[in-house]
């Protein structure tokens, strides 16, 4: 990677699968040493982007450089300089943790003279040194993911790609995986490019790009994105959502939607607004919640939906397509 150059540089990157334009001309650059997150609902184009950056998929258009190398013209150089941890585990269950790493070291041409030390180093980093002799199939879900992270680091990559590194893990294990990721950033001077659809995880990233339907709709630090929303979010559960939405529009000029079972809208100062609203409404209120902007609100302000609603409608669409196919 040229000194001071970006760790990942993407320019007009596009991927089409037949009629589906999964990634629609995206641009961004990741600085060396950054934890950069790609946040978006299922189907937004996150995996397709990561697969192009890792040279597993050829872009339809545009270009990308990883660790200074072009993902199409310099594939082998890119591959030597990246580590991968994907959603689906690819460990060999019949090998021990240590054997899995040894196998990978050979595959990546890690010099024999340093292999043993390096294996010890990465296994200690993810707290698996004591369990190195056990078969990988006897590891818990969190241990397997930690072993995969260790494996992804073995050949000292410049950029580590993590595709949904904590998906399917319990909150405690997710937190501990994150501890390792943050530790890595300082210990290995590595750039981390990760995808997630967990809002709380995106908060750990130095910067995040929000991707929706193949386009980057926002890119900044989590703090700056939240500050950009500015307004508080109010959620009200009522006996008659339609009347409340109409009242908000007529009397206060506010646009509200029903999201995740509550009438949801944004105002500049929530605490001051709620008493005024209550004085005006004749509809019974079951609950009210006022919250400072979160990444959820950022997502909503750029896409008009919450990430969970977007995923629910994506899976509903898929169910309908499956049903139609089955007919």
Ligand X SMILES: Nc1ncnc2c1ncn2[C@@H]1O[C@H](COP(=O)(O)OP(=O)(O)OP(=O)(O)O)[C@@H](O)[C@H]1O
CB burial string 71-96: b at 16+ within 10 A, e below: beebeebbbebbbbbbeebebeeeeb
Q: Does 37 bind ligand X (CB under 6 A)?
A: no
287-326 binders of ligand X (CB under 6 A): none
Q: Does 44 bind ligand X (CB under 6 A)?
A: yes
- Cα–Cα distance between 135 and 251 in angstroms, integer? 66
- Cα–Cα distance between 179 and 160 in angstroms, integer? 16
Token pair 């980093």 in the structure block, residue: 125
Single out the segment in contact with ligand X by CB under 6 A; choices: 36-44, 70-78, 168-176, 185-193.
36-44
The distance from CA 93 to its chain's CA centroid, rounded to whole angstroms, is 27
Q: Does 158 bind ligand X (CB under 6 A)?
A: no
47-66 binders of ligand X (CB under 6 A): 47-48
Smallest distance, Å, CB 131 to ligand X?
30
Contacting residue, 43, 97, 142, 222, with ligand X by CB under 6 A: 43
**Pick from 199, 148, 140: nearest CA to 172:** 140
How many CB atoms are closer than 10 A to CB 327? Answer: 4
Q: Does 165 bind ligand X (CB under 6 A)?
A: no
Q: Does 259 bind ligand X (CB under 6 A)?
A: no
**CB-wise, 48 or 81, nearer to ligand X?**
48
Q: Does 196 bind ligand X (CB under 6 A)?
A: no
Q: Does 42 bind ligand X (CB under 6 A)?
A: yes
**CB-wise, 48 or 191, nearer to ligand X?**
48
Single out the segment in contact with ligand X by CB under 6 A; choices: 37-45, 107-115, 282-290, 301-309.
37-45
- Cα–Cα distance between 131 and 139 in angstroms, integer? 9
**CB-wise, 51 or 238, nearer to ligand X?**
51
Residues 6+ apart with CB under 8 A from 208: 36, 37, 38, 39, 202, 219, 220, 221, 222, 225, 295
Q: Does 40 bind ligand X (CB under 6 A)?
A: yes
Name the maximum alpha-carbon separation found in the chain.
Answer: 78
Contacting residue, 17, 242, 291, 320, with ligand X by CB under 6 A: 17
Contacting residue, 8, 39, 46, 160, with ligand X by CB under 6 A: 46
Smallest distance, Å, CB 15 to ligand X?
8
CB 231 within 8 A of CB 298: no
Chain contacts with ligand X (rule: CB under 6 A): 17, 20, 22, 40, 42-48
């Amino acid at each position: 990677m040229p000194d001071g150059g970006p760790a990942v540089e993407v320019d007009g990157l596009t991927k089409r699968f037949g009629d589906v334009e999964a990634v629609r001309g995206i641009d961004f650059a990741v600085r060396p040493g950054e934890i950069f997150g790609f946040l978006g609902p299922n189907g937004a184009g996150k995996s397709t982007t990561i697969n192009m950056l890792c040279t597993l998929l050829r872009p339809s258009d545009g270009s990308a450089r990883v660790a200074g190398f072009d993902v199409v013209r310099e594939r082998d150089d890119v591959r030597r300089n990246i580590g991968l941890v994907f959603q689906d585990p690819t460990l060999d269950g019949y090998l021990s943790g240590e054997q899995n790493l040894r196998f990978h070291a050979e595959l990546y041409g890690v010099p024999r003279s340093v292999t043993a030390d390096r294996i010890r180093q990465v296994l200690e980093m993810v707290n698996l040194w004591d369990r190195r002799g056990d078969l990988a199939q006897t590891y818990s879900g969190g241990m397997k993911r930690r072993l995969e992270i260790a494996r992804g680091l073995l050949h000292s990559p410049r950029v580590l790609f993590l595709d949904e590194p904590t998906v399917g893990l319990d909150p405690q294990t997710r937190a501990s995986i994150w501890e390792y990721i943050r530790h890595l950033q300082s210990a290995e001077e590595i750039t981390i490019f990760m995808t997630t659809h967990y809002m709380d995880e995106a908060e750990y990233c130095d910067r995040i790009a929000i991707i929706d339907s193949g386009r980057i709709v926002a890119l900044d630090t989590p703090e700056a994105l939240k500050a950009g929303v500015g307004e508080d979010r109010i959620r009200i559960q009522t006996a008659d959502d339609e009347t409340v939405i109409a009242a908000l529009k007529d009397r206060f000029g506010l646009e509200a939607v029903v999201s995740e079972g509550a009438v949801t809208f944004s105002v500049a100062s929530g605490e001051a607004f709620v008493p005024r609203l209550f004085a005006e409404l004749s509809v019974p209120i079951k609950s009210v919640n006022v919250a400072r902007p979160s990444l959820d609100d950022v997502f909503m302000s750029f896409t008009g939906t919450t990430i969970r609603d977007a995923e629910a409608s994506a899976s509903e669409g898929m169910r309908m397509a499956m049903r139609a196919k089955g007919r």
